Amino acid sequence: MQFKKSLMLGAAVAGLAVTGYAAAAEQYIGLPTYRVGAYAAGGTGLFGGWIDYMTMVNERDGGVNGLKLVWEECETEYNNARGVECYERMKKGGTTGNTVFQPLSTGITYSVLDRVANDKIPLVTMGYGRTDAADGRVFPWVFPLITTYWSQSTAKIKFIGMKEGGMDKLKGKKIVNIYHDSAYGKETIPVLDAQAKQYGFEVIHIAVAHPGNEQQSQWLRVRQEKPDWVILRGWGVMNPTAIRTAARTGFPRDKIVGVWWSGSEEDVIPAGDGAKGYIAAGFNVAGTDFPVIKEIQKYVYAKNMGNMEDKSRVGSVLYNRGVVHGIVTLEAIRTAQTKFGTGKALTGEQVRWGFENLNITDERLKELGASGFLPPLATSCMNHEGSGKVKFQQWDGAKWKVITDWIDSDQALVRPMIEESAAKYAAEKGITPRDCSKEM
C-alpha cells in the first residue's frame, strides 16, 4: 500500500542519510540553508559568509584550537516543515550530534523552539526570532544574540534623538513606522509606543501587506502626515519598493531609518539612485577593509575554496553578517573549550555553556581582526542577548558607509518588557524559570 511505498522510499532516504564521519575530533555543525526560492539572495549571502569563515579557520588554524570544523547543509527553502525536517535530520549528525542550530528564519525558529530543550541543542537567532528569549532563565537553550528587535528599536530612537540634537528635542516630533504586516513587523509597536510616551513624540504606524511590492497608498499617507522621520521595518521586496516610493513621493531618504533586514545591498540596489542617503541599522557593517575579511580572501578565495559564486558579494552586509555568525559560533566553541577541554568534539550541551558565557571584548575582537565589525558581546544566564548595540550605515549610492559608532539600546525600558513577556510564556507553558544564582 501507499505506506509500504513511502517506507521503501524512506529506507532509501535513511540509508543515504547515514554517512560515515571520521572519528577524529571534528566539531559538527548542521546548516539549514536556503539557496532557492524567495529568500535565496539572503540565504546564499548569509550562509556563504558563515561557511567561508569556517573554511578560513580550518585552513589557517586547523580548526578551533585544533578542533576541525565540519558542516553539512540541508536545504529548507525557508519553509517551516522543511526546516523541522532538516533539524531532525541533522540532529544526529557527526559524532556528537548537531551542536548548534541557526535557521536564519523566524518561522523555523518557532518551529524548533520546543524541540531544542529536549535535544540539548542551542538555538542561536542573531537579530531575528523571539525577542523575549533574551531572558535566559525561561529560555535556557535559545540565544537571540547581539541584539533583538526591541533593543534595536530603542537604538533607532536614540539615533534619531542624536540627529535632532538630544533626546529632549524629540518632543513634539512625528515619526512614522512603516512595517511589514506580519508578526515580525508588528513586534516593535509596543516599544515604539512606550518610547513615544516617554519622550513625547508622536508615532504613527502604517502597515504594508506582504509582499509589499506596491506601496503608493502608504507613502501618500506618509506625505500627508509630513513626519520628521520614517522608521522602515521591512522585509524582502518591501524594502526597495519603500525606498523607491519614498523617492517618488519626495520624502527625504536620509530621514528614513531601516532595521537590519532592510539594510543590505539587496534592499537598496533595486531602488537605484533613489536610495542615496538612506540609513539603516546593523549589528555588523559592510566592507572588505577588515582583517578578518582579508584573511578569508587570502586563505579561502585565493585557493578557490570560496562558497560565493559571485565574489563581488564578499563584504556585502549579508555576507558579513554570515561571517559574524561564524565568529560568534566559533567563539562559543572556544569558550566552551576553556571549561570542557580541547582536543575532542563538544556536545550541544557544552556549546550551550559556551554561548551562555561568551565574553567577546574589544581586545578579543581586535585579535579576531574584527574591530568595529561587530559589537563586543558578553552573555550570562540572565542575559542571552549580550550586547544590544548597533551601528548605523548610510547608502551613498554605491556602498554602505558607517556613520555612527556603536549605539547602545535602552535596556531600562526593554529588559522589563522582555521579562514580562517571557514570564507570560513560562506561565503558558508551565515552565519554572531557572535560578541564575545557582548557575555556574
Stretch 13-42 residues interacting with other proteins (CB under 8 A): 13-14, 16-17, 19, 33, 35-41
CB-based contacts of 356: which residues, under 8 Å, 6+ apart? 136, 140, 143, 379, 380, 381, 384, 439
Asked if 422 contacts 133 with a C-beta cutoff of 8 angstroms, the reply is: yes
| Among 90, 80, 112, 71, residue whose Cα is nearest residue 17 | 90
Q: What is the rounded distance in angstroms from the CA atom of residue 366 to the CA atom of residue 364?
A: 5
Using the rule CB under 8 A, give the single segment among 158-166, 201-209, 365-373, 394-402 that binds other proteins.
201-209
Q: Which of 69, 100, 103, 132 binds other proteins (CB under 8 A)?
A: 132
333-392 binders of other proteins (CB under 8 A): none
Q: Which of 24, 220, 302, 378 binds other proteins (CB under 8 A)?
A: 220
Q: How far is the CB of 186 from other proteins (least distance, A)?
A: 6
Place of cell 511590492: 213
301-340 binders of other proteins (CB under 8 A): 307, 309-310, 313
Asked if 339 contacts 67 with a C-beta cutoff of 8 angstroms, the reply is: no
Angle between helices 106-119 and 80-91 in degrees, nearest 10: 30
Q: Which is nearer to other proteins, 309 or 435 (CB)?
A: 309
Q: Which is nearer to other proteins, 170 or 176 (CB)?
A: 176
- Around Cβ 54, how many Cβ atoms within 10 Å? 26
Asked if 309 contacts 40 with a C-beta cutoff of 8 angstroms, the reply is: no
72-111 binders of other proteins (CB under 8 A): 72-75, 77, 79-82, 84-85, 87-89, 91-92, 106-107, 110-111
- Is residue 208 involved in binding other proteins (CB under 8 A)? yes
Distance between first and last Cα of the chain: 54
- The beta strands (E) that lie in 169-285 are given as 174-180, 202-208, 229-233, 256-258, 279-282
Q: Which is nearer to other proteins, 86 or 327 (CB)?
A: 86
Binding-site residue total for other proteins (CB under 8 A)? 99
Q: Which is nearer to other proteins, 30 or 63 (CB)?
A: 30
Q: Which is nearer to other proteins, 51 or 360 (CB)?
A: 51
222-281 binders of other proteins (CB under 8 A): 223-224, 236-237, 240-241, 244, 247-250, 265-266, 269-272, 274
Q: Which helix (H) or strand (E) holds 70?
A: strand 68-73
Q: Which is nearer to other proteins, 260 or 353 (CB)?
A: 260
Q: Which of 187, 331, 356, 410 binds other proteins (CB under 8 A)?
A: 187
- Is residue 401 involved in binding other proteins (CB under 8 A)? no
Using the rule CB under 8 A, give the single segment among 162-170, 185-193, 333-341, 379-387 that binds other proteins.
185-193
Asked if 26 contacts 64 with a C-beta cutoff of 8 angstroms, the reply is: no
C-alpha cell at 216: 503608493
Angle between helices 40-61 and 317-340 in degrees, nearest 10: 40
- Is residue 2 involved in binding other proteins (CB under 8 A)? yes
Asked if 251 contacts 368 with a C-beta cutoff of 8 angstroms, the reply is: no
- Is residue 410 involved in binding other proteins (CB under 8 A)? no
- Is residue 43 involved in binding other proteins (CB under 8 A)? yes
Q: Which is nearer to other proteins, 16 or 440 (CB)?
A: 16
Return the bridge partners of 177, or none: 205, 231
